[in-house]
Amino acid sequence: HHNHMSELSGVSSPPDPNGVLSPSVALELHAVGGVCCIAETLPPAAKAGVRLQLPAVEANGLNAAYSTMAGRPINLLAAEPEVTMLRVSVIDSERAEEVAYEAVLLTLLRPGLRAIQLRSVATGTPIALCTLLVHVEHDHALYEWADATQLRLLLRAQEDELNALRTRLAQLTQPSNASCSGTSSDARSPERLEI
């Protein structure tokens, strides 16, 4: 015979709202060489940056699940993943304070489910039982959002712009006889450099 007690103290008390975090996760990429960005969709938008902060999970700091991406992956794009660091941080959104972090090279993240051990912001030491479970997939996407013809046209346009700027710079830095004599009618032209 076994009795079940629903309350041990007999007094019902609500949880302390000050003791519950509303965490948010921020992702940052730091490239030593090459370019990188974090994008929610491919191709990346022109405004794609190197930092993305996910919306906070209200009052669930123990086992927060970030389902706001609706099952879509977050794309970490790096030209040189061997020298690009991923920094993951957990932020208390109510106080806008970072509470834990970890940094890892992109190439060290193996595919599959991975537990990232988080560290204390104050001491840099690992926090016991403080991990972030992530699903990692690798894909090598080399400019899939532009074909070779589009890339050649873009490169040609950039080369033309550079050549025009070089010509313009050469014109501005060449000494002119008119500017030395001070008698030219176009000596006050805003394009002319006078020292």
pLDDT digits (tens, 9 = 90+) for 9-18: 555 555 555 6
Which residues fall within 8 angstroms of residue 2, CB to CB, at 6 or more apart? none
- The answer to whether 86 touches 104, Cβ cutoff 8 Å, is yes
Q: How remote is the C-alpha of 49 from its chain's centroid? A: 5
**Average of pLDDT values for 111-125?**
94
pLDDT digits (tens, 9 = 90+) for 78-90: 888 899 999 999 9
Cα→Cα distances 35→26, 71, 82, 154, 167, Å = 19, 26, 12, 18, 29
169: pLDDT strictly greater than 60: yes
CA–CA dist 131, 62 (Å, integer): 11
pLDDT at 186: 46
Protein fold of 19-136: Immunoglobulin-like (2.60.40)
The C-alpha R_g of the chain, in whole angstroms, comes to 28
pTM greater than 0.85 (yes/no) = no
- The answer to whether 84 touches 106, Cβ cutoff 8 Å, is yes
Q: Comparing C-alpha atoms, which of 28, 87, 23 is closest to residue 55?
A: 23
**Residue 31 pairs with which residues in a beta bridge?**
84
Domain spans, the chain: 19-136, 146-195
pLDDT at 51: 94
